[in-house]
Amino acid sequence: MLTKRQAKTFFIGGTVLFAAIFLGLTIDTLSNGLPRNTHPEKMDDQVKLGRYLWDKNNCMGCHTIMGEGAYYAPELTRVYSRKGPAYIRTVLTAPEGWQPRGRNMVKYDFTDEEVEALIAFFKWMDEAYLNGFPPKPWLQPSE
């Protein structure tokens, strides 16, 4: 029968082993996988400003990006190719705040520079490879 000492060894040994593997994979992900898929070299000052604004205004408090966030407003990973920059600009500069189908988006007073920065950020996001996410729908009823 298992003794308390053996159980303790199992706990400590397992934890150390799997934490070490996890750290190894983390290093690989940060140095190889993530840069290959997300092109940090394309993050110029404009993209960085867009990324900052994305955070500062808690956009993922309603939207998702890379599938992460809240589920109150659309997924925006591919919004740049799906809707185009002109549409995004219209949404971000709607004088009374964007109101899709009766739902309210917060009214933001972005400057032109900030609007363009957010668009640049979405373009950068659009070019990231996310292992096939978002998936292509099986059917396309709206088209």
Subset of residues 5 to 64 that bind another protein, contact rule: CB under 8 A = 7-8, 10-11, 14-15, 18-19, 21-22, 25-26, 28-30, 32-34, 36-38, 40, 43, 48, 51, 54-62, 64
Query: Does residue 68 belong to the site contacting another protein (CB under 8 A)?
Result: yes
- Residue 86 contacts another protein per CB under 8 A: no
DSSP-based three-state secondary structure for 69: strand
Residue 75's DSSP bridge partners are: 64
Question: What are the tokens at 80?
Answer: 């740049």
Q: Does 111 bind another protein (CB under 8 A)?
A: no
**From CA 125, how far away is CA 79, in angstroms rounded?**
9
Upper half-sphere CA count for residue 116 (Cβ side, 13 Å): 6
Considering only residues 87-106, where is the footprint of another protein by CB under 8 A? 100-104, 106
Least CB distance from residue 17 to another protein, whole Å? 9
What's the rounded Cα separation, in Å, for the pair 60 and 139?
28
